[in-house]
Structure 1
């Protein structure tokens, strides 16, 4: 099993178990990397043929402009969300301050509920607009980065096959995102009594009804990222992967945790969970990316990933889960009071425990599969049925193309 040099030209490389972790991957497909069926490619060919015809009227010219735009948006998936985003931003900046249009757009573009005379922000319905708008921003950024930066990078790194390029692009984008969000979350935590993953402060000064600018920006930005991921995943814009059901369940639980922790003021606990997910996902994505480019670092980094996954996704999350059992009731006030927004009580404790526990069960399932890959590697096995997703997709595409010929 060679991890050092790329295979000879024309040789189909059997994917190594090390670093080729198809399970435990929280990255949803993007529009750029979704499966393009033979039928969608035929429609693209039809549009190209239509563009090559000579228009006989002004209406036909206008029709060709629309067809050209559809083909361009098909090839460059960032154009659609980019136009919507730019239109909203232009309308916001060009509309008079104080007008109904300006104020409506401000709800989504800017953080709302600043408390005068402080550095704190409250919460409210406008935060939904913020999450919605930045879900659109993340859609644009992801598609633009993948199409204009990561696809050329994949070719430069010797990743030629289309299906493998998709995986490379998805994982490299995940590396970029978690490489920023993880350190940002740790920096925010370092300014709070939570450092380093202290659990007692979750409950000492509860409820945390306000947060500073950076905390709120991080929290709602993460919500926007996960909403965008969940929408793309739930629409099933590409062939479901091996752990599709587990991935959907993971995203649903994560969205539920985000909303409940924000609405009921358990944001300090939510911050700690966010960080454990982001940092472990960073090591996962780097490990997979190294494998796609046949790097010598694949094996040692895979071992680093396994250690980080166990520490972050299990040790620290179990520490948080244990605090829900032992400190949730005994530290701080314990009552249900809607007027004072005091929700740390008999009903919230089992809900919090259930959501984090469910997340831990999904992580535990993925850990089992990851350790199985590790065990096979340590034994020196490379089972014949251990195929990478890109090889499976290529074979399915060939079958599909034959059916449509």
Structure 2
């Protein structure tokens, strides 16, 4: 580039402006302008864990180049003070955005510190910020109660502030633990793919969380009549309007965790899996169950469901972690996880569902007679009640009854047992009041029975879908004679993860930059006027009536 061109591009040069413009036009015709060296993205920023935010730091590097405006001395001399202030503000926000993208835990930490600082100004329960940090609605002890009696807490709108604050706090702990602790651990474990590192960190954080909340849930359950998943204990003493501090803290912290998980899904902080729609449905149902159970006092039932989900999620997360690092015990541990999932998410939850089946019981006599007729063949194993098939089935039935008399006796009683089971009102109706009364907040009635049953059934259907995928993994494991297979919900093939990740990053970067208008080309100003693309400074001067 010629000296005159340099003088024009860099304010403060001492060349004559007219000569500069002539030399610029001549040099453009004589030889092509050298191609500018591309900016380096400098690889992956340290500590970045979220796949959808992995290009934010790269975009920040480009902004320092693409937003640089080349000006002439006249343009810079017009309003220097105003321009400097504007550049300082833009530079500050750019640096802050770059820092917050590098350390995604910084923003929620600052919000939490701000809330704590506002409370520290006036640390008293009357401070409105107190509801975000501490439990609200403490109830005074009754007269004559000893100091050892636990204080109970009621429910109200202030509990939303508690959940909101700890949702932000859990966002901080999630990002901080993943970036500062789990990312180095994933690299040390030998995971080179960024996609696998991200999945490792997500599952490791889940395992850490439920390693704490799972035992805590069992401890809370042991202090209530619900122990050990007693369906009768879930309804004893209904409505459960108040709880001790440990119970209420556990319940609301779980609500904050699932709210934070929903934010993670909506913001795309985790790379979507193949079962993304089912996962969103699961989170929506879970949040609806949490709100309904807390508002309408079915918290004991919610406690049991919490524990079944938490413990099984711990085994799920740790099983996936062992699979990522290719641990030698991954297959035996997978069988442990499968057993825990089947027992907790299906056997226990189906027991809870069976305790509230909304059927019009007892059945009419005609329905009971039809059940007996349909299942009546079970009572004829040793008789001649098989009709045309008697010559074949009667000998088989006789031999079976002689070899397994207890089993034959049980099968023969099957029709009566089924009729009795169907005609026994569910526990939901028989324990405690069963009537709708808004004044006394008595909500255990036929309406709530249908609503709770439907929501738990929807949750069970999602779990059954995942259980089908788990069984398919088990089938492939058996068919491959113990060879480790991939999770059906994995989001990418390992052979192309690196290429696909970088392609996704660049596509996201282009879209985001195009959307916010940050990919503007550098503008060359001639006498304070932007130079149109494809024209020289001489053309602009002629158009403006200036002399060469």
| TM tier relative to shorter chain | 0.7 to 0.9
Asked if the contact 2:473–2:488 (Cα under 8 Å) also holds between the matched residues in 1, the reply is: no
Provide, for residues 54-103 of structure 1, a one-character-per-residue CA deviation record: whole Å limited to 9, x for no partner. Answer: x994653453332222111111100111111111111111236366xxx2
- CA-atom RMSD, angstroms? 2.7
Structure 1 residues 80 and 47: CA distance shift in structure 2, 3 A: farther
Counterpart of 2:170 in structure 1 is: 138
Residue 12 of structure 1 corresponds to which residue in structure 2?
A: none
**Greater RCO, 1 or 2 (C-alpha within 8 Å, sep 6+):** 1
Match of 1:82 in 2: 109
- Residue from 51, 56, 60 that aligns with 1:34: 51
Aligned to 2:441: 341
Where 1:321 maps in the other structure, the secondary structure is helix
- Which residue of structure 2 aligns with residue 378 of structure 1? 478
Kindly indicate whether the alpha-carbon contact (under 8 Å) linking 2:49 and 2:183 is maintained by their aligned counterparts in 1: no
| Conservation of the 8 A alpha-carbon contact between 2:194 and 2:501 | no
Q: Alignment partner of 2:356: what SS?
A: helix
Stretches of structure 1 lacking an aligned partner (at least 5 in a row)? 1-30
Q: Please list, as runs of the form range in 1=range in 2, the aligned pairs for 1:122-271 lying within 5 A after superposition.
A: 122-237=154-269, 239-271=271-303
- In the alignment, the residues of structure 2 paired with residue 385 and residue 321 of structure 1 have an alpha-carbon distance, to the nearest angstrom, of 29
Q: 1:73 is matched with which residue?
A: 100
The answer (yes or no) to whether the contact 2:52–2:268 under 8 Å persists in 1 is: no
The 10-residue stretch of structure 1 (236-245 or 295-304) with the greater mean CA deviation from structure 2: 236-245
CA offsets, 1:313-341, max 9 Å, x none?
Answer: 00000011111221001111110001111
Unaligned runs of 5+ in 2: 1-47, 70-79, 142-149, 358-425, 511-548
2:59 is matched with which residue? 43
Tell me what 1:310 maps to: 342
The reply on whether 1:294 has 2:294 as its aligned counterpart is: no
Deviation of the 1:393 alpha carbon: 4.6
Q: What's the TM-score once normalised by structure 1's chain length?
A: 0.85
Contact residue 207 and residue 342 of structure 1 kept, 8 A? yes
* Gap change, CA 1:386 and 1:321, over 3 Å in 2: closer
- Equivalent-residue separation in structure 1 for 2:506 and 2:51 (angstroms): 20
CA distance in 2, matches of 1:192, 1:98: 29
Task: Give yes or no for contact 1:51–1:67 (8 Å, CA) kept in 2.
Answer: no
CA deviations 1:370-399 (Å, max 9, x no partner) are 000000001117789979434365343344
- The residue that corresponds to 1:366 in the other structure is 466
Q: Which residue of 2 aligns with 1:4?
A: none
8 A contact 1:199–1:323 mirrored in 2: yes
String of CA shifts for 1:144-198, please: whole Å, max 9, x gaps. 1111111111111112221111000000000000100010000011111211111
CA offsets 1:207-233 (integer angstroms, 9 cap, x no match): 111000000000000000001111221
